[in-house]
């Protein structure tokens, strides 16, 4: 990260009182003013071939958009510019657009012999196969385009 020569002059506490404000580097604030929107379409198909075999498939297409995305550490900066959330509007960090899950349930057939049924019968096999698209990311350059001293500006 490069050194910004007028970083102190842009910090809020330094602007209010340059003498005492210079002693503080960062103050982080949690903001509950963000807005998130999640929309999804879920499709399900199930087919029972006979009494012992069933196939189930689920497909989800979804989209999550938010103004503020919590990335895990409340002690760190969360936005590029805390004075304007407009630059934060975009895909959520956990937005996974496509997800497909397929499972097949195979049940053991009932055996005619009671002892053989107790030893070898009454079992189920149900593997689950899931495929999904990846999550979104934003490369950070360390350049302070918003002139806030935070350094979370995305690639422009």
Say how far residue 104 (Cα) sits from the centre of its chain.
28
Interatomic CA distance for residues 47 and 98, integer angstroms: 22
pTM (2 decimals)? 0.59
pLDDT 10s digits, 19-39: 777 777 666 666 666 788 999
| pLDDT value, residue 28 | 64
CA distance 1 to 104: 51
Q: Which ranges constitute the DSSP H helices of the chain?
A: 7-10, 12-16, 18-21, 114-120
Contact 102, 56 (CB under 8 A): yes
Question: Domain-by-domain residue ranges, the chain?
Answer: 36-132
What does the pLDDT look like over 52-78, one tens digit per residue?
899 999 999 999 988 876 655 555 556
> What's the CA gap between 90 and 79, in Å, rounded?
12
Is 90 in contact with 34 (CB distance < 8 Å)? no
If one compares 15 and 152, the residue with the highest pLDDT of the two is 15
Residue 40 burial by Cβ neighbours in a 10 Å radius (0-12, 13-18, 19+): exposed
């Amino acid at each position: 990260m490069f050194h910004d020569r007028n970083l102190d002059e842009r910090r809020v506490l330094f602007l209010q009182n340059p003498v005492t404000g210079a002693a503080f580097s960062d103050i982080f604030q949690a903001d509950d003013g963000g807005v998130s929107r999640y929309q999804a379409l879920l499709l399900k198909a199930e087919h029972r071939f006979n009494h012992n075999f069933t196939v189930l498939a689920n497909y989800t297409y979804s989209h999550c958009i938010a103004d503020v995305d919590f990335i895990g550490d409340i002690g760190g900066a969360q936005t590029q510019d805390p004075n304007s959330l407009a630059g934060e509007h975009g895909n959520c960090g956990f937005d996974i657009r496509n997800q497909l899950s397929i499972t097949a349930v195979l049940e053991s057939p009932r055996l005619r012999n009671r002892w053989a049924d107790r030893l070898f019968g009454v079992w189920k096999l149900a593997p689950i196969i899931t495929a999904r698209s990846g999550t979104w990311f934003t490369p950070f350059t360390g350049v302070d385009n918003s002139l806030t001293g935070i350094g979370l500006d995305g690639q422009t």
